[in-house]
Amino acid sequence: MLKLKLNSEFGTLRAVITHRPGHEIERLTPYNTSELLFEDVPYLEVMQKEHDEFTSLIHNSTGARVYRLHELLVDVLIDDDLLFKVFSENLEHKNLRHLAEDIIPRYSTSECSSILIAGIKVKELRKKFQSRYLDQFIDAEYIIPPSPNLYFMRDPAAVIQTGVICSEMKYSGRQRESNLLRIIFENHHLFKDNFNRVYPNDKLSSPIPTIEGGDVIVLSDKALAIGCSERTDSEAIQAVARSVMSEGAVERVYEVMLPAKRNFMHLDTVFTIIDENLIVTYPDAMNAILKTVVYRKEGIDEQGQAIMVAENINESIISVLKKEIDYLEVIETGDGNPDYALREQWYDGANVFAIGPRRVISYNRNKFTNRALREAGVEVLETSSSELSRGLGGPRCMTMPIDRQAF
């Protein structure tokens, strides 16, 4: 049984969820990459080899359990009623809920799970059966669209001090990623008894303010940082702040204002924490962020909700972090060289994955950042990255830690 609560970003890893890229990657073409939020068309077989190397490195270096999303999904969709419900919901956008009863019997549970990830086209269904309801669509049209971004497991949810933030994704095409994670957390025997949904809650109006897991960083057991970015709204940050302060020991939530730029997409592309007093950062972004709002817990009202006060801090995020983290040590991407930093930031040099205090996994292509980390006494385990990096996400982006040693 997993607690689904974390109080640090760097405690020794015990369990993590990943997704091995699959057929959804082969749905990418030079003409739909922008629509599907990709920069390039990766080579799947090499991508899978690199991902296998990455997950083996996690397990072999820590002994942590590495759960694959597809396998967890199969475990819960063995329940026929749940499978029908999930499939029906994912056909609703085409007004084809009723087709679920025709599709499901023709595929195994594993194949149904794959369809929910990789999508399915009209022509693929027509090979299985004929239906007048499909006549309105052309062969190449998707009845369920693919989710090629799903190998970036950090985005659909975030495990924090009091439970799980279930992401409300900025782009509707990615919302299924978060929905599948929520279904697993709610129904899988490993998680359901300890699953506490921090966000969203029933008090939020529609549309629900967006938030993505890459913007969420646990600073300590008492503090949380969330990027206000092109993907995460201030209203969502305030709702999370109120929830975590009401439910647990969290006393401060920092709303960090990020520039609306592609390479600053989430807060974890700007900095990551790799020990209690050590971070790796992209210096240009860190120095450019000159506004942060801190929400503080002042008490609890009669309804058991946190009483919050907000304070604007017009300082660099580095200055803010130095107030939160004693004796902060900062390592810059590219080893401080502006040209190297620009190159390595594009391939997520600051987005390393901490598997323990001062132990990280980093893309092998970020050689100058890795050198700077080693010179600071950090153990750097390098993983191949020629194809994985094409989606513009790093090792932290590809992982969803669900259990760490308490720190």
Instruction: Establish if 26 belongs to a structural domain.
Output: yes
Q: Which amino acid is at 221?
A: D
More confident residue, 287 or 16: 16
User: pLDDT value at position 164?
Assistant: 96
- Regarding whether 282 and 140 lie in a shared domain, the answer is no
User: pLDDT value at position 138?
Assistant: 92
Does the pLDDT at position 324 exceed 70? yes
User: pLDDT value at position 291?
Assistant: 87
| Separation between Cα atoms, residue 222 and residue 245, nearest integer Å | 9
Tokens of 176: 């299924």
The answer for residues whose C-beta is within 8 angstroms of residue 273's C-beta and 6 or more apart is 8, 9, 10, 217, 218, 219, 279, 354
- Regarding whether 163 and 138 lie in a shared domain, the answer is no
User: pLDDT value at position 263?
Assistant: 60
User: pLDDT value at position 303?
Assistant: 82
| Separation between Cα atoms, residue 37 and residue 173, nearest integer Å | 9
User: pLDDT value at position 261?
Assistant: 65
Pick the range with the lowest mean pLDDT from 98-102, 152-156, 245-249, 359-363: 245-249
User: pLDDT value at position 40?
Assistant: 84
Instruction: Establish if 5 belongs to a structural domain.
Output: no
Q: What count of residues does the chain have?
A: 407
User: pLDDT value at position 1?
Assistant: 67
Does the pLDDT at position 289 exceed 80? no
| Separation between Cα atoms, residue 388 and residue 103, nearest integer Å | 32
Give the CA-trace dihedral at 336, 341, 342, 346, to 10 degrees.
-160
Mean local confidence (pLDDT), 297-302: 85
Q: What letter would DSSP give residue 279?
A: E
User: pLDDT value at position 262?
Assistant: 62
Active-site annotation holder among 112, 166, 228, 397: 397
- Regarding whether 83 and 53 lie in a shared domain, the answer is no
- Regarding whether 134 and 158 lie in a shared domain, the answer is no
Cβ atoms 289, 295 nearer than 8 A = no
Q: What total number of domains does the chain contain?
A: 2
- Regarding whether 215 and 122 lie in a shared domain, the answer is no
Can you spell out the DSSP letters for 22-35? Answer: -GGGGG--TTTTTT
Residue 363 banded pLDDT, cuts 50, 70, 90: very high
Tokens of 234: 């201030």
- Regarding whether 173 and 24 lie in a shared domain, the answer is yes
User: pLDDT value at position 166?
Assistant: 96
- Regarding whether 324 and 301 lie in a shared domain, the answer is yes
Please, what is the end-to-end C-alpha distance for the chain in angstroms?
Answer: 20
Look over the chain and give the mean of its residue pLDDT values, rounded to a whole number: 91
The alpha carbon of 54 is separated from its chain's Cα centroid by a whole number of angstroms, namely: 17
The answer for residues whose C-beta is within 8 angstroms of residue 375's C-beta and 6 or more apart is none
Instruction: Establish if 362 belongs to a structural domain.
Output: yes
End position of a domain, from candidates 94, 124, 144 = 144
Pick the range with the lowest mean pLDDT from 149-153, 227-231, 394-398: 227-231
Domain that holds residue 297: 13-67+148-404
Residue 202 banded pLDDT, cuts 50, 70, 90: confident
- Regarding whether 199 and 112 lie in a shared domain, the answer is no
397 is catalytic: yes
- Regarding whether 335 and 246 lie in a shared domain, the answer is yes
What CATH number does the domain containing 384 carry?
Answer: 3.75.10.10
Does the pLDDT at position 290 exceed 80? no
pLDDT tens digits for range 329-349 = 999 998 878 888 888 787 888
Helix/strand/coil for 388: helix
The structure's pTM equals 0.94
Instruction: Establish if 376 belongs to a structural domain.
Output: yes
Mean local confidence (pLDDT), 271-296: 87
Sign of CA dihedral 36, 42, 45, 48: negative
- 228 strand-pairing partners: 257
Instruction: Establish if 2 belongs to a structural domain.
Output: no
Residue 34 banded pLDDT, cuts 50, 70, 90: confident
| Separation between Cα atoms, residue 337 and residue 339, nearest integer Å | 6
